[in-house]
Amino acid sequence: MAGIRDVAREAHVGIGTVSRYLNGSGYVSEESRNRIETAIKTLDYQPNELARNLYRNRSGIIGVIVPDLEHPFFSKLSKYIEINLYERNYKTMICNTVGISNREKEYLKMLERNVVDGIIAAAHTLHSEEYLKINRPILAMDKDFNGQIPLVHSDHKKGGALAAEAVIKAGCRNVLQFTTSSKVTTPANQRHIVFEEICTKHGIRVRTVETNWNLFSHEHFRRYMQKEMVKYPDVDGIFSADIPAIACMNVLKQRGYKIPQDVKIIGYDGLDVIYMTDPPLTSVSQDIEKLAECCVDTIIRIIEGKEYESHQVIDVDFVQGKSI
C-alpha cells in the first residue's frame, strides 16, 4: 500500500504539497500538480480513510437501526436512506435489532466510539433513557422521546382518518383493528386512536387487539391470525398493517369468507405486496421515499450544525385496492 510519503518522494515534492493537492486546499504549482498526478497513477495511490478519519474526527458513516431488515417497510426505508446518504457523501451502516435491546444499545455506543457520526433510529425496543443520555446526533423515526430527540414520522392521524372513512363508506358495523403494544410511545399508534374515535362517532363498533409483534415473518402472522380470528366470527371489517392484514385475508378466505363481500379489509403502509394478493389490498400508504429523504436531510443538518425542524410529519395517501 503506497502512502502519501511515497507519492511525495516519487513526485519529488513534500508531503504537505501532496496533501494540499489531494484536498484542494492551498496552493500547488502547475509543475508540482503534474508530477503528483503521475506519481499517484504510477503508485496507484489511494488515501487511507482511516488516517483521515482520525484527524477529522469523523467517519462519514451514519448508523441506521431498524427492527428487521426483512420487513418490506424497513427494507424499503433502508434502501432509500442509503441512496440519499450516498448522494450526500455518507455511508450507511445497518443494524437489525431483531428485537434484541442489547443490540440496539451496542449500536448506540458506536456513536460515542466515533464509529458512526450519527444515528437514524427506527427501532425502539430499548429504554428511552439510553437514548437521552447520549449527547450526539440522533434522529428518531416513529418514536416520540417527549420532544427531546428530533422526530420524523408519517401523518398517522390522517392515516387513521382515511382508514375510518373507508370503513364508514363501505358500511362496516363491527370492525377489528390490530395494534402494536400501546406501551411503546410511537406516533404510529395514533392511527388506531383516531380510527376508533371516528368509527365510534359513526356508530361503528371497534374492538382492538393489542399485539406484541417482534417477529415479522408471514408464517408468524398467519399462525397468529389463525388463532385470533376464531374469536371474532362476526366482524365485517379489519384494519391493520399490510403484512398482518394479508395474513388475515388468507386466513379468512380459508375459512370461507369472501373478501370484500363478507369482510372488508384495509391495510396500512402501502407496501408492494398489496398488489400481489387477491383481491389486491386497499391500504393507507406511507411515503417511504420521502420519509427516508427527510431522515437523511435532518440527521446531516444535525451533524453539520445547521438548523433543523425537530418534528416533521410526512403526508400519507389512500391506495384503492379491492379489499374494501
Binding site residues, a copy of itself, CB under 8 A: 46-51, 53-54, 57, 59, 61, 68-70, 72, 75-76, 78-79, 82-83, 86, 91-96, 98, 103, 109-110, 112-115, 217-219, 222, 246, 250, 253, 272-273, 275-278
Nearer to a copy of itself, 194 or 252 (CB): 252
CB of 76 to a copy of itself, least distance (A): 5
Q: 205-211 and 174-180 as β-strands: parallel, antiparallel, unpaired?
A: parallel
Residue holding cell 450526500? Answer: 88
Task: By CB under 7 A, name the one of 42, 56, 169, 254 that touches DNA.
Answer: 56
CB of 69 to a copy of itself, least distance (A): 4
| Site size for DNA (CB under 7 A) | 32
Nearer to a copy of itself, 200 or 254 (CB): 254
Q: What angle do CA 238, 239, 243 make, to 5 degrees?
A: 100
| Spatial distance between the Cα atoms of 117 and 149, rounded to a whole number of angstroms | 16
Nearer to DNA, 54 or 230 (CB): 54
185 counts as binding DNA under rule CB under 7 A: no
Q: What is the DSSP string of 101-161?
A: HHHHHHHHHHHHTTS-SEEEE----S-HHHHHT--S-EEEES---TTSS-EEEE-HHHHHH
CB of 17 to DNA, least distance (A): 3
Q: Which partner, a copy of itself, DNA, none, binds residue 20 by CB below 5 to 8 Å per kind?
A: DNA
DSSP state for residue 18 in the 8-state scheme: H
48 counts as binding DNA under rule CB under 7 A: yes
CB of 138 to a copy of itself, least distance (A): 16
Task: By CB under 7 A, name the one of 1, 146, 256, 305 that touches DNA.
Answer: 1
112 counts as binding DNA under rule CB under 7 A: no
Kindly indicate which of the ranges 25-33, 142-150, 203-211, 240-248 contains the residues binding DNA, using the contact rule CB under 7 A.
25-33
Question: What SS3 state is found at 98?
Answer: coil
Nearer to DNA, 4 or 83 (CB): 4
CB of 53 to DNA, least distance (A): 8
179 phi/psi in degrees, rounded to 5: -120, 160
Give the CA-trace dihedral at 33, 34, 37, 38, to 10 degrees.
-150
Sign of CA dihedral 177, 182, 185, 190: positive
Task: By CB under 7 A, name the one of 10, 39, 43, 52 that touches DNA.
Answer: 52
25 counts as binding DNA under rule CB under 7 A: yes
> What cell does 321 get?
385496492
Q: 316-319 and 264-269 as β-strands: parallel, antiparallel, unpaired?
A: unpaired
Contacts of 307 (CB under 8 A, 6+ apart): 301
41 counts as binding DNA under rule CB under 7 A: no
Peptide bond into 260 cis (omega under 30): yes
Task: By CB under 7 A, name the one of 41, 44, 57, 203 that touches DNA.
Answer: 57
CB of 51 to a copy of itself, least distance (A): 5
In whole angstroms, how far apart are CA 106 and each of 61, 97, 102, 115, 127?
16, 10, 6, 11, 13
Q: Which partner, a copy of itself, DNA, none, binds residue 5 by CB below 5 to 8 Å per kind?
A: DNA
Q: What strands, in cross-sheet order, belong to the sheet with 205-211?
A: 205-211, 174-180, 237-239, 264-269, 282-286, 316-319
> What cell does 306 get?
445547521
Nearer to DNA, 31 or 129 (CB): 31
What does the binding site for DNA look like in residue numbers (CB under 7 A)?
1, 3-5, 12-20, 22-23, 25-29, 31-32, 45, 47-48, 50-52, 54-57
